[in-house]
Chains A and B, each alone.
Chain A
Amino acid sequence: MNTFLKMALLFGFSLHAVAHEAALEKVSVAKDVPSIERGAETLMGACHSCHSMKYIKYRDLIKFGMDKKKVNEWSGGQSLDLPLLAQMSENDAVLAFGKAPPDLSVMTKARDGGPRYVYSYLIGYYQTKDGLPGNHIYPETKMPDPLGIIGVTDEKQLSEIHGKARDIVSFLAWAADPREEERLRLGYYVLAYLFVLTVLLYFVKNQIWARLDRIS
C-alpha cells in the first residue's frame, strides 16, 4: 500500500480517538513559594524515583527561594548544578512498567488543558471492576496511583490528597515556565509604555493631518 494512504489512515484513526473521555477538574495553580516548595517535596517523594525533570537544576530551586537544607537533602549530597534526574534508569523503568516515564519539566504545557489535565490525572485514579487501578483521564496509563487516592473515602483525607495534587501541579507549572513572573512584570511595563506612546502618536497624527484642513 502506498505510504501516503497509510499515513492518511493513521491520521484518520488518530483523529477519531481524540475526543476527551472525561471532563477535567478545575484547579487554581498556586504561585507562592511555600505551596510550590510543598509540591516539590511531594514530587520528590512520590514521582522523582521514576520521573526526571532534566531542565531543572537543584540550584534553580534554591534560587527560586526554597529551603537550602531541604534541597540539599533532595540532591542527596550531589552537586547542586546537576539536573533533577530520576533515581531509576530509563531501562529499568521500561522493564518495570513497559514504558519510559516522561520527563516532567514541561508537563503542564505538554497536555491539552495544561495544569488542569495533570491535576485531574493525578486524582483520577479509581479501582476497576477487576480490582486493578484505572484512570479516568488517561486510561492507558502504566503509572501506579502515586498519591494513594484509590479506596480513600474519608473526606478529610481526600481533600488532603487533592491539596497535595494541587501543590505538585503548582510546582510543575512553575518548572514549565520559571520565567513567568519576570514575563508578566515586564509585560505590564511594556503595555503601559506602548499605551502612552500610542495615545501620543494619535495626537501627533491628528495634529499633522489638521494641516490639511487648513490648506484646502
Chain B
Amino acid sequence: MFANVINWIDQRFPLTSFVKHELTGYPTPRNLSYWWNFGFLAGLVLVLQVATGIFLAMHYKADAATAFDSIQHIMRDVNYGWLLRYMHAVGASAFFFVIFVHMARTLYYGSYRAPRELLWWTGQGLLLLLMATAFMGYLLPWGQMSFWGATVITNLFRATPFIGDDVVIWLRGDFTVGDATLTRFFALHYLFPFLIIGAVVIHLVALHTVKSSNPSGIDLAHKDNIPFHPYFTAKDFYGLGIFLIVYSVFVFFMPDSLIEPANNIPANPMQTPNHIVPEWYFLPFYAILRSVPNMVGGVVAMGLSVMMFAFMPFLDRSRIPGGAHYRPIFKLQFYLFMIDMLVLGWVGYVPQTSSTTIIGQIATLCYFGSFFLIPFISRVEERWLIKRGLPQEVMTLIDKEKKEIAERKLKNSQRKGGKA
C-alpha cells in the first residue's frame, strides 16, 4: 500500500529521487568535524524562532500604548507564555552565536574559496537579513533600550547623501520613533523570517551544487564521501542535543542574563537611558561605528565591517588548500582577528572614555587592516610554504588545479575562436 502511494507520487513528483539525491544519498566528506554542525543548528534555530514567534504574535499587541503591557501579559497570563518569550529572546542570541561560529569555521578552513564564492555570498545576504530581523524584533517589547536603540540606529540613515533626513522619516513613518515605527517593524519582523527561509533554500541549493568543504581542504576522491544519511543525520542530532542543553540552561535558569535591565522600563521618549548598548551580537560593529569620529565615516565603516567578509574570496590569494590547516601565518591571523573581535565587543559594551576610544580605534584599524593585508600575506606565505616544502599530496593538488585552470582557459578561447 505504502509503496503504491509512493509510486503514485513519484510518477507525478520527483519525491524519491529528491530525497535520495539531496538527503539519503547526498555525498558528504567523511572527515567533517563538529564545526560543520553549525549550519544544521542555524536551520534548527530558525525553525524554533519562527514557531515561537508565530505564537507570540497571537498575544502581542503592536501598539505603542499597549506593547509593553502585552509582553507582561504574555509573561504572566498566557499559558507557557513565559516559555515562548524566553525561548524567542534567547533564541535570537543563539541564532547569532551559531551563525558566528558557522562563519568563523568558514574563515578558518577557507571554505569561501572557489568554487564556493556564491555559497559564501548567499550566507552574507542571510547575515544581513538576520541582523535586520533581530534589530526590528528588538523594538517590539517597547522598553527603553528598544526605543533608544531604534532611535540611534535609524538616525544613522541620515548619512545617506542628499536625502538623509527624508530616509530617516521614511523608515520611521514619523519624525521620531513612535507608534508608526512599531507597527511597521512588527510587520517586517514577521515578514523577514520568510525571506530568510527563501534565502536558506538558495544557500542550500548552492551548497548541494558545490558540496561541503572539509577540514583538509582537499577535494576528496569519490570513495571518501559518505551519504549524509545516516552518518551526518546522526552526528547533527547528537550536536543538536548538546546545543539544546546549553540553550535550555539559558531559557530556564538565566533567561534575563541577556536582557538589558533598562528594557524592563517602558519606552520613554522624554528620558534617555544612562547608557545605550545594543545587543551583544552587534557590539563589535557598534564599537567600529563609535570609533570613527565623523558620523558618515562611522556609518560607512560599520557597513563595511559587516560587508568585508564578502570580499574574502578575492582577498585570499593563496592556493594552498585546507584554510588555516597548512597555513601557519593565516592561522595566526585568524586567531588575532578573533581576539580583535572580542576587544571590539568589549569596547562596544563599556561606557565610552578616552582610553576605550583609543583602544576601539586601534582595534578598528586592526579589523580592517587584517582584511587589507590578506592579499599580500597570503601570497608571501604561499611562496614561503612552497619553498619550505609542502606535503606531496598538497603540491600535486595545486599543480592539478593550475592545469585545470589552464585547460579551461584554452577551451574557452577555442570555443570563442570557433564561434567567431
Residues of A bordering B, CB below 8 Å:
2-5, 7-8, 10-12, 14-19, 55, 102, 105-106, 109-112, 114, 176, 178-179, 182-184, 186-187, 190-191, 194-195, 197-198, 201-202, 204-205, 208-209, 212
Q: In the complex, what residues of A have CB within 8 A of residue B82's CB?
A: 179, 182-183
Q: Is the CB of B265 within 8 A of A194?
A: no
Q: Is the CB of B275 within 8 A of A179?
A: no
A interface, over-half SS: helix
**A208 contacts which chain B residues (CB < 8 A)?**
230-231, 234
In whole angstroms, what is the CA distance A100 to B151 when docked? 24
- Contact between B248 and A18 (Cβ–Cβ < 8 Å)? no
How big is the B interface, by class? Answer: 35 or more
Closest 6 CB pairs of A and B: A187-B252, A198-B241, A110-B264, A15-B351, A18-B275, A205-B234
**Among candidates B72, B244, B351, B352, residue contacting A106 with C-beta atoms closer than 8 Å:** B72
A109 touches B264 (CB 8 A): yes
A190 partner residues in chain B, CB cutoff 8 A: 248, 252
What CA separation (Å) do A7 and B351 show in the bound complex? Answer: 15
Q: Do A191 and B249 have beta carbons less than 8 Å apart?
A: yes
C-alpha gap A5/B69 in the complex (Å): 33
A204 & B244 in contact (Cβ 8 Å cutoff): no
The residues of B with any CB-CB pair to A shorter than 8 Å are 30, 69, 72, 75-76, 82-83, 86, 151-152, 155-156, 158, 226, 230-231, 234-235, 237-238, 240-242, 244-245, 248-249, 251-253, 255-256, 259, 261-262, 264-265, 272-276, 295, 351-353
A179 touching B76, Cβ below 8 Å = yes
Given contacts A198-B242, A201-B234, contact A106 B264 (CB under 8 A): yes
B60 to chain A, nearest CB (A): 16
How close is B247's CB to chain A, nearest CB, in angstroms? 9
Docked CA distance A202–B234 (Å): 8
Q: Specify the chain A residue showing the minimal Cβ separation from B296.
A: A4
Q: Are A184 and B252 in contact (CB under 8 A)?
A: yes
Task: Decide: A11 and B276 in contact? CB cutoff 8 A.
Answer: yes
Could you tell me the distance between the alpha carbons of A111 and B262 in the complex, rounded to whole angstroms? 6
A120 shortest CB reach to chain B, Å: 15
